[in-house]
Amino acid sequence: MGRMSISLDTPINSLLSNKRRVSALKSFGIVSVGDALTYYPFRVGDPVPPRAIREARPAEAMAFAAVVTQSRVIPMNARRGYRLEAVVEDSAFAATRRMPAGMARLVFFSNRRNYVDWMAMRLATGTQVIVSGIPSEYMGQLQFTHPDIVTVAPAEIQSVDVQPGAATQPQAHTKHYDVSSVKEGLDHVCRPRPVYHASARLSSDRIHETIVGILNMVGGREAADPSSVGTPLQGFETEDEQRFAAALAEAIPDILPETIRAERGLMHRAEAFRAIHDPISVEAFHKGISTLRYEEAFICQTALLQARNASGATPAHPCVSDEEQGEGLVSRFIASLPFQLTEGQRQVIDSIRGDMAKNHPMQRLLQGEVGSGKTVVALAAMLQAVEAGYQAVLVAPTLVLAEQHAETIRSMTQGLESPQIPVTLITGGMKLAARRKAHAMAASGEPGIIIATHAAFSSTFQASNLALVVIDEQHRFGVEQRESLQSKPVDGSTPHMLVMTATPIPRTAAMTWFGDLDISWLTELPGGRKPIRTFVINEDDGRTMASMFSHIRARIDAGERAYIVCVRIDDTSNDGKGGTTDDEATLDPYAVGDDEEQARPPLHTVAEIAERLQKLPQFQGIGFATLTGRDKDEVKTQVMADFAAGKTPVLVSTTVIEVGVDVKQASCIVIFDADRYGLSQLHQLRGRVGRGGTNSWAFLVSRAEAGSPAEARLQVIHDSLDGAQIAQADLEFRGAGDVLGDTQSGMRSSLKLLRVVQDADIIVDARSHAEQLLAADPQLEGDKQLAGAVLDFTRPTRHS
């Protein structure tokens, strides 16, 4: 029978007959051979030492060669199932270690009779085996429970080429043996073993054996189904091994160009997969990981650079403003501002002016500390587009922020032009007639500014004369949404794009996630803003909590406002483990371990805290309001208006206020369950206060235990107001995917090994090599495998 051709796209269910195993693998996102090979272990175990039975130490893994002297299957009466007991002795192996012979019992339990019978056949009396496991003592006898077993061919047929997992051929023997010699068996079982993220349904060992079995099948070894048989073994430097390595390399072609691989001393891709999943040594494992980590960096940077080159090749509307005499719209706008621009703002406005004057699209990321004045820069860019006779769209992640932008922009552009520059707001919750009118305005092509929420991504939205798209808070939008906006114009042009974020992202992270954009940083805070004083308070400290509330009352009596932030809306909302509304905090998985999670008190809710605080003597006679993502749009608008006006000076809300909400009189923010948030999110929330030049305070209320990692994380926020420093710490605590939000992962989720902080040097090196490669071969015509990998990387992933 000819061997079935197996590739990385081959479905797992066509290779494994064990349907329960297939189902368990699917729960890990493993449905194809490629998924299995890129399901990487998170560490590698130590090599198992060979020891004679008499050298056994309780609870320490060991391996030895022995002969089965007794074997029996015992039905278990008390509960359904069977117990297999075998007794082994190691006289020959013990002699090689200058030790006296020893005896041990091997025990296996199972409900499946076929498994017990199969194992009993392998452990028939007289069979030579290699045993690997952890010894324990039972009724005075050394015992191994469910050890790994490798069967060794008898001496009289060891001259026959015994292929791993295959039957030997002489007439007298029909039994399968795993290896042809004791040395080969020990070499295999003593190897270091990779450890995988597992579940109750599927242990790390079973995952390991399955992936190694799949590798064997890919390389053409007709191994038995690895989900029902012990691990098929790699051979050693034999003809079979060479054939296997060549077949594997053919089925798993290299992606990295040969020259780069040689220069960095990396493995072939197929060799790297073997070194990771079936390592000969700990060193080989780490070399395999390093190879595939560099490969990820290289694919990622090649994809980003190609995307950047491709967008640069499309036409855009050049927006040239008349700034020679200071008469242009942008100059008049800057002159009308009641404050001086910082040097940083001026430089960024100049960069954008130069970018937008070109006939290919600007692609710029503007990263600015909370309150650093990004809106002014964005408005200058939008006015440049309007002056050139085009439309500009500003996309905001929430309704509150969109309405705030519309109000701010209308007031800032008042009187700049006659007639007034049209500012159109489009949101998902608008009444039908108003929405139609707004859509008609956008479709008319009349020069002006359009401010939209996610409604801008709907198919009905069409701006026919669009030259600039500004995206506020990029981390809230997926890559696909960014691309869909750029394809909106009907005239075949691509709009200039300005992406803004206050989420501080270290430079290497920005290079990995936004490497297709030019990046500008706004680092200075505009004049008049005072540092926010930050306090971490233990919720059980009643005296400090009371004085905090008294302080907030004093600030409210002085005409200021206070935010109180809770993780959840009410007791019916999700517990943060998935399925939250769009504004409930995504709880930080690194703030608390699973075992601690069970013992944690329930999270505070908006409903509960609002009710509790209103009963406190400190807040007698004070108006409270609540705001959550569940509120209707008109309710949100009214709540924010009442808060700003001082009608309800205390606002209890979820993190819906995290981004961009700008109430000048707000001077205090209290964040309950602060130990459960990501650091960058806490930094964002803290930035909601002190925006009017007043003194301001942030209180992080926590139930974290003294000395816990959660407490250490809060200390970072307490000690620093530097967003970049906090972002660095956040990445180190959590990882880039968590910091930047899941929506980012549409295109970047294929990054499994690359660590944005620790691997900065790799990213920089990969980028420079990718630039050289693309300069010589922009379409990657000479690197078909790399071109395919780049295409896969830029597609949204199949699995959730």
Q: How many residues does the chain have?
A: 800
Sorted by sequence, the CB contacts under 8 Å of residue 288 that are 6+ apart come out as 267, 271, 272, 273, 274, 275, 276, 279
What is the rounded CA–CA span in Å between residue 718 and residue 698? 9
Which pLDDT belongs to residue 171? Answer: 37
On whether the CB atoms of residues 702 and 536 are closer than 8 A, the answer is yes
* Average pLDDT for 256-271: 94
Is 558 a residue whose pLDDT tops 70? yes
Tokens found for residue 317: 């509307």
The string of pLDDT tens digits covering residues 226-250 is 333 333 344 445 677 788 888 899 9
DSSP per-residue letters across 600-626:
SPPPPBHHHHHHHHHTSGGGTT--EEE
Distance CA 275, CA 383 (A): 57
Mean pLDDT of 779-790: 91
| Region 138-152 average pLDDT | 92
Mean of pLDDT values over 403-409: 87
CA pair distance 728, 708, nearest whole angstrom:
20
- CA 721: distance to chain centroid? 25
pLDDT band per the 50, 70, 90 thresholds, residue 498 = very high
Give the pLDDT score at 595.
Answer: 40
721: pLDDT confidence band, cut at 50, 70 and 90?
Answer: confident
What's the confidence (pLDDT) of residue 441? 87
Q: Tell me the C-alpha to C-alpha distance, in Å, between residue 40 and each of 24, 104, 283, 286, 617.
A: 16, 35, 16, 12, 56
Which 8-state DSSP code applies to residue 48?
A: P
Asked if residue 512 has pLDDT above 80, the reply is: no
Residue 10's contacts (CB-CB under 8 Å, 6 or more residues apart) are 32, 33
Site of tokens 């070499």 = 187
- How confident is the model at residue 297, as a pLDDT? 92
Task: Please tell me the predicted confidence (pLDDT) of residue 503.
Answer: 67
Instruction: Give the CB-side neighbour count of residue 456, counting CA atoms within 13 A.
Output: 34
Position 351 scores a pLDDT of 92
Distance CA 701, CA 699 (A): 6
In this predicted structure, the answer to whether residue 678 has a pLDDT above a threshold of 90 is no
Provide the β-strand partners of residue 62: 133
3-class DSSP state of 522: strand
Contact 573, 605 (CB under 8 A): yes
Lowest mean pLDDT among 314-323, 583-592, 686-695: 583-592
Q: Give the SS3 label for residue 585.
A: coil
Give residue 554's pLDDT band: very low, low, confident or very high (50, 70, 90): very high
* pLDDT given at position 14: 93
pLDDT at 205: 82
Residue 659: which pLDDT band, with cuts at 50, 70 and 90?
A: low
Give 290-335 as a 3 state SS string: HHHHHHHHHHHHHHHHHHHHHHHCCCCCCCCCCCCCCCCHHHHHHH
DSSP structural state of residue 565? E
Task: With cut-offs at 50, 70 and 90, classify the pLDDT of residue 311.
Answer: confident
Higher pLDDT pick, 794 / 672: 672
Residue pLDDT, tens place only, 13-42: 999 988 999 999 999 999 999 999 999 999
For tokens 């001077």, name the residue.
Answer: 667
Higher-confidence position of 288 and 45: 288
The predicted-structure confidence for 350-384, as pLDDT tens digits, reads as follows: 999 999 999 989 989 888 766 667 889 999 999 99
Residue 524 structure tokens: 């200075």
CB burial class (10 A; 0-12, 13-18, 19+) of residue 175?
A: middle
Distance CA 392, CA 261 (A): 46
Strand partners, 626: 652
Amino acid 716: pLDDT:
86
pLDDT for the residue numbered 738 = 46
Does 219 have pLDDT greater than 60? yes
pLDDT surpassing 90 at residue 657 = no
| Residue 455 vs residue 46, higher pLDDT | 46
CA geometry: angle 558, 564, 566, nearest 5 deg: 180
User: Is the pLDDT reported for residue 507 higher than 90?
Assistant: no
The answer to whether the Cα torsion of 365, 370, 376, 379 is positive or negative is positive
Task: Tell me the pLDDT band of 619, cut-offs 50, 70 and 90.
Answer: very high
pLDDT at residue 158 is higher than 80: no
Q: What is the pLDDT of residue 24?
A: 93
**What's the pTM value of the predicted model, to 2 decimals?**
0.63
The secondary element (H helix, E strand) that includes residue 82 is strand 82-89
Alpha helices (H) in 388-516, listed in sequence order: 399-413, 432-444, 479-486, 507-513
% of the chain surpassing 90 pLDDT: 44
- Mean pLDDT, the chain, rounded, equals 82
Distance CA 460, CA 436 (A): 10
Q: State the residue for tokens 């295409």.
A: 791
Angle between helical axes of 633-645 and 399-413 (0-180°, round to 10): 60
- What is the structure's pLDDT at 655? 84
Is the model's pLDDT at 698 over the cut of 90?
A: yes
Q: 153 pLDDT exceeds 60?
A: yes
More confident of the two residues 415 and 548: 548
pLDDT tens across 724-743, in order? 677 667 666 655 544 444 33
Question: What is the predicted pLDDT for the residue at 477?
Answer: 56
**Has residue 290 got a pLDDT over 60?**
yes
Rounded mean pLDDT of 554-572?
89
Report the chain's C-alpha Rg in angstroms: 32
Domains and CATH numbers, the chain: 1-45+194-252 (no CATH), 48-190 (2.40.50.140), 329-522 (3.40.50.300), 532-720 (3.40.50.300)
CA dihedral 639→643→649→655, nearest 10 degrees, is: 70
Burial 641-661 (b: 16+ CB within 10 A, else e): eebbeeebbbbbbbbbbbbbb
Confidence of residue 168 (pLDDT cuts 50, 70, 90): very low
Strands 148-152, 128-133: pairing is antiparallel
> Which residue has tokens 């803290």?
686
**d(Cα 133, Cα 698) in Å, to the nearest integer?**
54
Q: Which long-range contacts (CB under 8 A, 24 or more apart) does 787-794 make?
A: 789/255, 789/299, 790/299, 790/302, 790/303, 790/306, 792/750, 793/299, 793/300, 793/303, 793/747, 793/750, 794/303, 794/307, 794/747
